[in-house]
Chain A
Amino acid sequence: MICDVVLALDAFELQVSFETEARAIGVFGPSGAGKTSLLECIAGWRTPSRGRVEVAGRVLYDSASGVALDPRVRGVGYVPQDGLLFPHWTVERNLRAADLGRGVPADALATAIEVLELGPLLSRDVSTCSGGERQRVALGRALASNPDLLLLDEPLGALDRPLRRRILPYLVRATEAFDVPLIFVSHDPTEVQAICSEVVVVESGKLVARGNPAAVLGASERAGMDFENLLRGELELDAEGRAHLVLEGGVRVEVPSRGARRGTQALFGLRADDILLALEEPVGLSARNRLRARVERLDADGQDVLLSARCLGPSGAEGPLLRASLTVGAQRELGLVKDGPVQLVFKTQSCHPLG
């Protein structure tokens, strides 16, 4: 995918340019950074001043050669922040909207209904749907239209945080089930990490960082103390029915077993402030997870510190980088320093399923 867009906006000029092989790209940045304008240029809702947009070798826009495909033929599935459902239609008619245009393949519709659990909503008027239901319908409508590119513009942005976390697994499952290239705009690092394999950070219309979501969004200036770690791995069930998530490096984390199926890939969230830190493995503690780790970074922000620690597997292999928050006082008292050892301690219930 090539995305090179220059567009004059009221407050600044949007200038974003990147070329990537990644199929799921996150666009991260604060409100008003130009993220929605970027997506609208890709969808053909706005015309850039200049640039080039190319998806899977197909040129959608190229100012140099005068190519500017009509939105009707761009093959883009767009999910804006407010869903933008057709208010005079039922849920089912919204899902079948592309029947009047590029068509709705029966299997795509069936998959969208199944993965997003839309079956019970089909006959409902969209005005009676809740915010979360509306976003699921909007996502289903875009996916059922069999797009070549999915544009997700903060699809969970209008929902409160608990609801966002409940809807996120649908989004993760849907993007995995359809395997369509996508651009996902969000200012929630957890969502970007859960969905994307690469992220670009846009601030005031300029691309300021790019790379692996965990690395880029875990940087101190973006992570914040409410940072949420993502644990992605394969589920194992032991003889007593407890579920363990096996992460890279063989690091094992006990997670809630409800709904867990052996051998499946799973995604869990773990908030930075849900992790306790210790210098030695604690005893007589109810928390089930005690991970050996090595401190890689300590980023102070006033009285708060965000600690980045590399987990170590049983054989000493390097596991995932997790972030934990603590106070400056706690850091001093423990004597935590870069490259020093640390134990990460957290409860099974602190891990909540995201997909």
Chain B
Amino acid sequence: MSIKILIPTPLRPFTGRQEEVEVDGRNVGEALEGLITSHPQLRNHLFTADGKLRSFVNVYLNDEDIRYTGLQQTPVKSSDTLAIIPSIAGGCCCCC
């Protein structure tokens, strides 16, 4: 099953600037796994070392937070859109 993942601006450097990535998966976990397999640099931004979704990364299946629908086990269907919504602090730019 192929679904669309929306990549937010701050993470686009790790997807070759792509705004959307098509992945296969039966549930949210498989879809995210597909995403980091094709774009390995994202792994550290989305998951902790022990494979848990980071607490400052929110994932929405359509308009619903997956924390309330069964996290990575949430089933997906082909018309669904998965969105990664990072916390942003700006203002303007939190600079290095």
A and B associate in one complex = no
Task: Report A's interface with B, CB cutoff 8 A.
Answer: none
